Amino acid sequence: MTIAISDVIVICIKAGGGVIFKQLVTDILASYNENPTIEKIQGESPISTASVIGIIDKLQVLTFPGYFGRKPLNYDTLEYSVGELLEDLAYNLKKQIHRALNPEDDSETTQDSKAESITFNFLGNIPEIRRILATDVEAFYDGDPAAYSNDEIILSYPGFYALMVNRLAHELYLMNVPMLPRMMTEHAHSLTGIDINPGATIGHHFFMDHGTGIVVGETTIIGNYVKIYQGVTLGALSTRGGQSLKGKKRHPTIEDRVTIYSGASILGGDTVIGEGVVIGSNAFIISSVQENTKVSIKSPNLRFMRNNKEASQELDEDDSWFYMI
H or E segment to which residue 237 belongs: none
Measured in degrees and rounded to the nearest 5, phi and psi for residue 138 equal -60, -45
Using 50, 70 and 90 to split pLDDT, how confident is the model at 37?
A: confident
Please report the pLDDT score of residue 301 as a whole number. Answer: 73
pLDDT tens per residue across span 48-79: 899 999 999 999 999 999 899 877 888 888 89
Percent of the chain past pLDDT 90, that is, above it, reads 65
Instruction: Please answer whether residues 289 and 307 qualify as being in contact, where contact means their C-beta atoms are separated by less than 8 angstroms.
Output: no
Of residues 286, 312, 311, the one with CA closest to residue 299: 312
Give the number of other Cβ atoms within 10 Å of residue 139's Cβ.
Answer: 22
Counting Cα atoms < 13 Å in the Cβ hemisphere of 215 gives 13
H or E segment to which residue 303 belongs: strand 301-306
Bridging pattern class, strands 259-260 and 227-229: parallel
CA distance 285 to 57: 37
H or E segment to which residue 273 belongs: strand 272-273
pLDDT tens per residue across span 242-295: 776 677 899 999 999 999 999 999 999 999 999 999 999 999 999 999 999 999
Domains and CATH numbers, the chain: 48-194 (1.10.3130.10), 200-325 (2.160.10.10)
Measured in degrees and rounded to the nearest 5, phi and psi for residue 98 equal -60, -40
Using 50, 70 and 90 to split pLDDT, how confident is the model at 33?
A: confident
| Overall average pLDDT of the 195-207 stretch | 98
pLDDT tens per residue across span 139-162: 999 999 999 999 999 999 999 999
**Residue 227's beta-bridge partner residues?**
207, 259
CA distance 187 to 170: 14
CA distance 239 to 21: 43
Q: How far apart are the first and last CA of the chain?
A: 55
**Residue 285's beta-bridge partner residues?**
266
Question: Whole-model pTM above 0.75?
Answer: yes
Instruction: Please answer whether residues 89 and 125 qualify as being in contact, where contact means their C-beta atoms are separated by less than 8 angstroms.
Output: no
Written as one string, the DSSP assignment of 173-228 is HHTT--SHHHHHHHHHHHHHS-EE-TT-EE-SS-EEES-TT-EE-TT-EE-SS-EE
Please report the pLDDT score of residue 134 as a whole number. Answer: 98
